[in-house]
């Protein structure tokens, strides 16, 4: 691994911590995040000064400061990239930036190749929460007894319904994200997700575990409601707004209980639509 590859990995790890911090603030505004912020400071302090300064400037404008090249475009702003620039990014002999948005670029094969997300339920214009999910992505009765088993159920379902090509890879990426900091929040809810999966729109599975499982470490209540999302780079900023909206809606007992007590996938879909129709347009 070259020095540039190591630097790219470090920037991506730092970015994941920064986004995890933003996600926690969006879903748990009163959460204490000192340890996470210390990790961000420690990892950032090892960066070359010029890289660190530019990285931090980018983060004041976007949630993403380093993005992959996806289908010959910058995954951050959508600008088409020249073949010579793409080849240079692939070689990774030095750091390169998008000429339009100035984000750092990396070639995804240097890390883990992201799978293409494809929507398979038609081209009809969707509204509200239906822009991000569908009746086919409701799972009213998760069976797993561990975080890995529950995530495997949801990742496998996304693959079966044609939203991702490789459910096993999606599971690996989801577990890597959980290892950074748990996505469980208060009131028995969790927002597991994978970011940077290029090729489609933001997609969400809603899964319910009737009994609940331990998902966020010792001391946390059992988690029963799982909003699992696959998030392309271009939708990262909107994802934080969606996360905040869902968190505000379902911290209230009545809409949350409507999800938990749903008896069929169809009932779950109707409860989700009813609860979100006013806040999520």
pLDDT value at 118 more than 60 = no
Distances (CA, A) of 262 to 7, 100, 246, 256: 47, 47, 18, 10
Q: Element (H or E) spanning 276, and its range?
A: helix 265-276
Pair of tokens at residue 46? 């090892």
pLDDT exceeds cutoff 90 at 217 = no
CB atoms within 10 A of CB 279: 13
Contact 268, 140 (CB under 8 A): yes
Give the separation between CA 204 and CA 117, rounded to whole angstroms. 11
What does the pLDDT average to over 111-123? 43
Q: Would you say residue 110 has pLDDT above 60?
A: no
Is 13 a residue whose pLDDT tops 90?
A: no
Lowest mean pLDDT among 107-121, 214-228, 247-261: 107-121
**Residues 32-41: tens digit of each pLDDT:** 778 888 888 9
- Which tokens in the block code for residue 52? 């660190």
What's residue 112's pLDDT? 38
- Give the pLDDT confidence score for residue 186 in this predicted structure: 86
Categorize the per-residue pLDDT at 111 as very low, low, confident or very high, splitting at 50, 70 and 90: very low
Residue 108 has pLDDT above 80, yes or no: no
The pLDDT of residue 1 is 64
Distances (CA, A) of 94 to 51, 71, 77, 158: 12, 21, 21, 37
Q: Which of 63-77, 117-131, 228-242, 247-261 has the highest mean pLDDT?
A: 247-261
pTM over 0.95: no
Average pLDDT over residues 98-116: 70
Q: Summarize pLDDT for 79-100 with one digit per residue, the tens.
A: 999 999 999 999 989 999 999 9
Instruction: Please state the rounded mean pLDDT for residues 231-247.
Output: 84
Residue 124 predicted with pLDDT over 70:
no
Query: Alpha-carbon distance 32 to 55, whole Å?
Result: 25
Rounded distance between C-alpha atoms, residue 132 and residue 119, angstroms: 10
Distances (CA, A) of 182 to 20, 64, 192: 9, 20, 8
Report the pLDDT value the prediction gives residue 126, as an integer from 0 to 100.
67
Domains detected in the chain: 3-110 (1.10.287.1490), 128-276 (3.40.930.10)
In this prediction, residue 198 carries a pLDDT of 66
**What is the average pLDDT score of the chain?**
87
């Amino acid at each position: 691994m070259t020095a540039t590859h190591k630097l790219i990995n470090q920037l991506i790890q730092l970015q994941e911590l920064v986004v995890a911090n933003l996600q926690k603030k969006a879903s748990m505004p009163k959460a204490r995040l000192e340890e996470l912020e210390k990790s961000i400071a420690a990892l950032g302090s090892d960066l070359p000064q010029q890289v660190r300064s530019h990285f931090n400037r980018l983060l004041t404008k976007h949630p993403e400061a380093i993005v992959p090249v996806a289908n010959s475009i910058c995954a951050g702003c959508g600008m088409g990239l020249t073949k010579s620039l793409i080849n240079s990014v692939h070689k990774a002999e030095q750091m390169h930036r998008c000429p339009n948005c100035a984000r750092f670029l990396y070639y995804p094969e240097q890390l883990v190749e992201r799978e293409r997300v494809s929507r398979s339920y038609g081209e009809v214009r969707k509204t509200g929460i239906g822009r991000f999910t569908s009746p086919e992505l409701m799972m009213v009765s998760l069976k797993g007894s561990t975080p890995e088993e529950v995530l495997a159920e949801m990742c496998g379902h996304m693959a079966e319904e044609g939203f991702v090509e490789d459910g096993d890879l999606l599971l690996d990426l989801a577990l890597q994200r959980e290892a950074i900091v748990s996505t469980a929040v208060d009131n028995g809810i969790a927002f597991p997700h994978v970011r940077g999966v290029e090729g489609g729109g933001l997609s969400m599975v809603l899964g319910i575990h009737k009994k609940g499982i331990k998902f966020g470490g010792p001391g946390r209540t059992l988690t029963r409601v799982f909003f699992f999302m696959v998030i392309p780079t271009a939708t990262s900023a909107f994802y934080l707004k969606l996360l905040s909206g869902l968190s505000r809606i379902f911290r209230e007992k009545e809409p949350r209980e409507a999800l938990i007590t749903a008896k069929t996938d169809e009932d779950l879909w109707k409860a989700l639509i009813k609860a979100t129709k006013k806040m999520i347009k």
